[in-house]
Structure 1
């Protein structure tokens, strides 16, 4: 079984590729009801795929892993998708979450709060390289090789242990979200928000306090009406089917 969380499609794309090659079912954790009792079969291989947010795996996935009882599985692995750096997450996941193997895969940039999306050439190149890495991962998972292959980046310990907690505490605020008059009140942003942070008020989206900053609402708005801060208006949008 491969469980995934994805805001703009990168992690879903990876999870589906992995699931197909390993002949495993692929499940979006957002589609799992909290009341569902998930039974992990003895000897089963369990995989997790999610984005990194500020050099840590997405909080929603870490919470899911904590609640999932997968001690009976024969092997577990986690793949973090990121723009270029995943941080110092290997020891954290192996020690605190009992994950056998940890990987990172560089994927197209979607964090338009600070920088523009990649060019088509860069996107195509990253996806082509990701395919090669996925093939290698599937071989290692099939052989149940316990490895840690992560692009940590520079100052990885500092970023994961100091910057990431600060990001989760202060940067994930919703005050900087704005909606332009081009909004057509379609409600897509409300429907796709993974934590039900968005509600339509008088036909316009309103953000509650708890936001993952997955940016799905910004990237998938059909009218490019949702902005965050001053930079996003001038940047492109990205969504991988």
Structure 2
């Protein structure tokens, strides 16, 4: 605190926090290992990153943070169960030419694949939407239950079938201390120092129905704060005594 004092570390503590179970709440997620959830601010469409997986479904069915930031994920084949139709007139041609039905001229042998297999990504990351259908109370109108795997894949259960819907976007950075804090040490954004987010996150899993607790122990930090206050008071007394001695010495010389 006086001459010789120095700052030990001005960065963040990125050590793993303890696991807090949240049984029965599939929207509560925890990353074990390195990595961040990717969320988007709907006001400016900016991606930001967080370790806190305290999510819920909003009124529109989007998976969001408590602040309303939308969790990002890659849609998988099962998410296509929520169909969107173009309400245009349908023209039916009186022809059996394969070209009329299939522009690629594939022979119709009843064994050719015309859609993506389950689990294959259909598009870049987007808002994860799992809205409940008010008519039947099912997710996306088709699924009785939603589960999340350790690989970050969100599954919908339809009877005995599990269908992959989204893969939650988890990213990592080369320099974590290069991230810029945008809210309360919980949400961060990438900078030139942190580097671009990488989808390659090794040795990490997503734990469903759990949250990561703070890696700061309040009792320990309170004890450290008390010690720091004592050291500061002692240093202040020494400083005052040094001033007094210096003043006395100057008076003696005069």
TM-score, normalised via structure 2 length: 0.23
Q: Higher relative contact order by CA 8 Å / sep ≥ 6: 1 or 2?
A: 2
User: Highest CA radius of gyration, 1 or 2?
Assistant: 2
TM-score, normalised via structure 1 length: 0.24
Going by fraction, where is helix more abundant, 1 or 2? 1
Going by fraction, where is strand more abundant, 1 or 2? 2
